[in-house]
Chains A and B, each alone.
Chain A
Amino acid sequence: MFASLTTAWTILRISLEERLVYRGDFALGTLMRFLPIVTQIFLWWAVISAMEAAGSGREIVGYSYHDIIAYYLLTMISRAFSSMPGLAGGIARDIRDGTVKKYLIQPIDMLGFLLLYRVAHKLVYYTVAAAPFLLVFYVCRGYFAGWPDTPTLMACLASLLMSFLLGFFLEATLGMLGFWLLEVNSLLFVYMLLSFFFSGHMFPIDMLPGVWGTIVKQIPLQYLAYFPAAVFLGKITGPALWIGLATQFAWIVFFMVASRLAFHFGTRHYSGYGG
């Protein structure tokens, strides 16, 4: 028990030091990532003002202009938790070039190692990105109606932490498919495309009409961007909030088991190509 904790701490510490090397690039990159929001602010103002001029009201499915901009800002936070750049591709690459065998011969669990590596990555990211995030949110504070009450805030925080775990296990499962497919880049591209559109990164998914709206609420992608943001804005309350949190948790368990099974059966299928 103590030995495994020491191992975990060592992995975390090494990963933290590795990530801190590029802190300047991180901070600047984070600030730059907010730039597209500037065009979104103008675009949605143009959309809402045209609706108003046509007598169609000032809201889209309950979202006012301010709500939409606040939503975009909040999804930046959701994505900061749930996005896992290079995770699935990295796993598939390790499988393809044979590097994965180090997890088979060393007493280290691959998923555990990768999870700790991601935790370190995210911890450094939040530390360095805190300043640009605070700056942008302070400048844009007018788009928010104020802080939500404590239970809502706690639900939002729980949902954010779960979105990190869901993002990790979902992408890890996709990467593990490399045991059977070897090349997963095309698959990952399709996933990225679907995720961009259906996670709510591009727009609040309540806006999707008809059958699309129903489908998108059944798949786990919404928990990667939309759900935490909508909770913060008070768009999901009461029983719907509890059901949402429970469903998000269930999806984490699902992908946790799926990635474990994929690793278990994948390593039996694995042929150890490469040197």
Chain B
Amino acid sequence: MMNYFRVFLTFARNSLVRDMTFRANFVIDLISSTAWVLINLAFYTLIFHYTPAIGAHSGWEKYQFFLFLSTALLINSLVQALFMTNADELSELVRTGSLDFALLKPIDTQFLVSLARNEWSSLGNFVLGLGLMGYSMYQLHYLPGLVQIVLYPLYVVCGIAIYYSLMIALAATSVWLGRNQTLFDFWFYITNFSRYPMEIYGGPWGTPLRRVFTFALPVLVVVNVPAQILVRPVNPQLPEDWFLPGFALFATAASLLGSRWVFQRALGSYRSASS
């Protein structure tokens, strides 16, 4: 375990050295990723210019919603920094046969291909998320209690694990499909549903949609559970709220095991493309 941690630190250091070799590019990446977030923040600020909340009596008023957004930022930035580039490159490794080299290394293949390259510039949004969280808490005159301090990071990690499982399982399908250029598209469309509080999915169409993306493909759990713990720990809105924190732990374990199974099956079907 300790060895794995040391290997991870080496990956992180190598990626940082690589990023710092092309410093201007790093700065541009940093600016472009944070600029998108700021544009979105401007859009939400505009919405709250007209409405007091997102959803009637939902409790997601301006700064509560900004806490939700900051949670989404923290989770997304960490997933992008740690796994996104690797998941994207997996299809190239499969296509070119370079996965052979990963298989030969005396380390778990999934660990190696999931974490080999880190995108440090994505951490700009992590800092932005922390800043937005601090600002929103200041505006709400709110200090998190012991329960939040313990549970919030735990559920942020669960969220990252669920996103990671989905991403690596999608990337692993490139073994069967040959190429997987649409990974980013899929990723964008699926995570698009988790960008808002789950209460907005109501009515005859929204409720089934919410249930599917909570229980079948648990992307709604990712941001909602930690954000709810931070914003309104004892004020549930939906019947699901009571057991969602427990379910989130189950969903995390199931997602990790499921993606591990998919990855191993994919490796089993891998036929080297090299000569």
Chain A residues close to B by CB (< 8 Å):
29, 32, 35-36, 38-39, 42-43, 45-54, 56, 60, 186, 189, 193, 196-197, 202-203, 207-209
Q: How far is the CA of A207 from the CA of B50 in the complex (A)?
A: 9
- Interface of A, helix, strand, loop or mixed by DSSP: helix
**Closest A residue to B189 using CB positions:** A35
Out of A49, A51, A203, name the residue touching B43 (CB < 8 Å): A203
**Closest B residue to A52 using CB positions:** B56
Q: How far is the CA of A106 from the CA of B47 in the complex (A)?
A: 53
Distance between A27 CB and nearest chain B CB, rounded to angstroms? 14
**Closest A residue to B200 using CB positions:** A46
Q: How far is the CA of A203 from the CA of B44 in the complex (A)?
A: 11
Chain B residues close to A by CB (< 8 Å):
28, 32, 35-36, 39, 42-43, 46-47, 49-58, 185, 189, 192-193, 195-196, 199-203, 206, 209
Q: For A43, what are the chain B residues with a Cβ–Cβ distance below 8 Å?
A: 54, 196, 200
Distance between A215 CB and nearest chain B CB, rounded to angstroms? 14
Out of B39, B49, B53, B196, name the residue touching A39 (CB < 8 Å): B196
Q: How far is the CA of A171 from the CA of B35 in the complex (A)?
A: 21
Whether B57 and A197, one on each chain, are in contact in the complex, defined by CB atoms closer than 8 angstroms, is no
Q: For A202, what are the chain B residues with a Cβ–Cβ distance below 8 Å?
A: 39, 43
**Closest B residue to A53 using CB positions:** B56
Whether B56 and A197, one on each chain, are in contact in the complex, defined by CB atoms closer than 8 angstroms, is no
Q: For B49, what are the chain A residues with a Cβ–Cβ distance below 8 Å?
A: 207, 209
19 A/B residue pairs, CB under 8 Å, sorted by A: A29-B185, A35-B192, A36-B192, A38-B209, A42-B201, A42-B206, A43-B196, A46-B196, A47-B51, A50-B55, A51-B51, A56-B52, A60-B50, A189-B28, A196-B39, A197-B39, A202-B39, A202-B43, A203-B43
Q: For B200, what are the chain A residues with a Cβ–Cβ distance below 8 Å?
A: 42-43, 45-46
Whether B39 and A207, one on each chain, are in contact in the complex, defined by CB atoms closer than 8 angstroms, is no
Q: Report the 6 A-B pairs with minimum CB-CB distance, sorted nearest first.
A: A53-B56, A46-B200, A46-B55, A50-B53, A49-B56, A42-B200
**Closest A residue to B40 using CB positions:** A202
Q: How far is the CA of A42 from the CA of B185 in the complex (A)?
A: 21
Known: A50-B54, A50-B56, A193-B35. Contact between A36 and B189, CB under 8 A?
yes
Distance between B270 CB and nearest chain A CB, rounded to angstroms? 25
Q: For A189, what are the chain B residues with a Cβ–Cβ distance below 8 Å?
A: 28, 32, 35
Whether B193 and A49, one on each chain, are in contact in the complex, defined by CB atoms closer than 8 angstroms, is no
**Closest A residue to B197 using CB positions:** A46
Q: How far is the CA of A183 from the CA of B21 in the complex (A)?
A: 19
Q: For B39, what are the chain A residues with a Cβ–Cβ distance below 8 Å?
A: 193, 196-197, 202
Q: For A35, what are the chain B residues with a Cβ–Cβ distance below 8 Å?
A: 189, 192
Q: How far is the CA of A43 from the CA of B39 in the complex (A)?
A: 17
Distance between A221 CB and nearest chain B CB, rounded to angstroms? 14
Q: How far is the CA of A53 from the CA of B46 in the complex (A)?
A: 19
Q: How far is the CA of A242 from the CA of B180 in the complex (A)?
A: 48
Whether A47 and B206, one on each chain, are in contact in the complex, defined by CB atoms closer than 8 angstroms, is no
**Closest A residue to B203 using CB positions:** A45
**Closest A residue to B32 using CB positions:** A189
Q: A42-B202, A47-B54, A189-B32 are in contact. List 5 more A-B contacts (CB 8 A).
A: A38-B193, A43-B200, A45-B200, A46-B200, A203-B46
Q: For B36, what are the chain A residues with a Cβ–Cβ distance below 8 Å?
A: 193
Q: For A46, what are the chain B residues with a Cβ–Cβ distance below 8 Å?
A: 54-56, 58, 196, 199-200
Q: For B192, what are the chain A residues with a Cβ–Cβ distance below 8 Å?
A: 35-36, 39
Q: How far is the CA of A39 from the CA of B197 in the complex (A)?
A: 11
**Closest B residue to A194 using CB positions:** B39
Q: How far is the CA of A46 from the CA of B60 in the complex (A)?
A: 10
Distance between A174 CB and nearest chain B CB, rounded to angstroms? 17
Out of B28, B42, B201, B209, name the residue touching A197 (CB < 8 Å): B42
Q: For B189, what are the chain A residues with a Cβ–Cβ distance below 8 Å?
A: 32, 35-36
Whether A39 and B185, one on each chain, are in contact in the complex, defined by CB atoms closer than 8 angstroms, is no
Q: For B51, what are the chain A residues with a Cβ–Cβ distance below 8 Å?
A: 47-48, 50-51, 54, 56
Q: How far is the CA of A32 from the CA of B186 in the complex (A)?
A: 9
Q: How far is the CA of A48 from the CA of B42 in the complex (A)?
A: 19
Distance between A222 CB and nearest chain B CB, rounded to angstroms? 16
Q: How far is the CA of A207 from the CA of B48 in the complex (A)?
A: 11
Q: How far is the CA of A45 from the CA of B49 in the complex (A)?
A: 16
Q: How far is the CA of A186 from the CA of B24 in the complex (A)?
A: 11
Q: For B32, what are the chain A residues with a Cβ–Cβ distance below 8 Å?
A: 189
Q: How far is the CA of A186 from the CA of B32 in the complex (A)?
A: 9
Distance between B22 CB and nearest chain A CB, rounded to angstroms? 14
Q: How far is the CA of A52 from the CA of B55 in the complex (A)?
A: 10
Q: How far is the CA of A100 from the CA of B200 in the complex (A)?
A: 51
Q: For A54, what are the chain B residues with a Cβ–Cβ distance below 8 Å?
A: 51-53
Distance between A64 CB and nearest chain B CB, rounded to angstroms? 13
Distance between A186 CB and nearest chain B CB, rounded to angstroms? 6
**Closest B residue to A39 using CB positions:** B192
Q: For B195, what are the chain A residues with a Cβ–Cβ distance below 8 Å?
A: 39
Q: How far is the CA of A217 from the CA of B193 in the complex (A)?
A: 32
Q: How far is the CA of A48 from the CA of B55 in the complex (A)?
A: 8
**Closest B residue to A49 using CB positions:** B56
